[in-house]
Amino acid sequence: MPGTIGKDQTVCVRHMSSAQFSTGTDTRLTVGGVSDTFTSTTRMPPTAQGPAIETSVSSYDFGTVKVGSSSTDRNLSITSSGTDPLEIQSIAISGDFSGAHHCPRVLEAGKSCTLIGRFKPTVTGKRSGSITITSNAPGNPTVVSLTGKGG
């Protein structure tokens, strides 16, 4: 809804983690003749009671990478989406894939951490692997399928 902020009005903008919000609508704001577009967001309630886990993808294809070379790094977000902390016991990567992370052993509700993955094929052809996250979330473990092609 268009509106005008008057000379004596105050605007407060607060930045929050994207894991705590869902995307809303684009809004154009003009203050003192300066105009910009921003996306308004709404706080989302936890998606599950107790501990829960969400990953930014359920599978990832790294495409074709020359044998012996490495792909560019790809990020995967792990989010504690329940009402209780997520206890991460292990994160394992298999196949011609490797990665690193700085995830804490206990990820508080609503918080996220990032795993950085890469593909380094050892032979030509289709390659597959996975990221297996063992935690206290129901449906344990969480598995993200990985694919790529050695070229």
Which candidate, 63, 67, 61, 58, places its Cα nearest to that of 132?
58
DSSP secondary structure code for residue 82 in this structure = B
- Which amino acid, one-letter code, is at 19? A
Among 20-24, 25-29, 112-116, 127-131, the least confident range: 20-24
Across 99-108, average pLDDT: 96
pLDDT confidence of residue 34: 59
* pTM of the complete model: 0.69
b/e sequence 59-77, b meaning 16+ C-beta within 10 Å: ebebeebeeeeebeebebe
Q: How far apart are CA 110 and CA 54, in angstroms?
A: 10
**pLDDT per residue as tens digits for the range 89-99:** 999 999 999 99
**pLDDT per residue as tens digits for the range 11-23:** 433 333 344 444 4
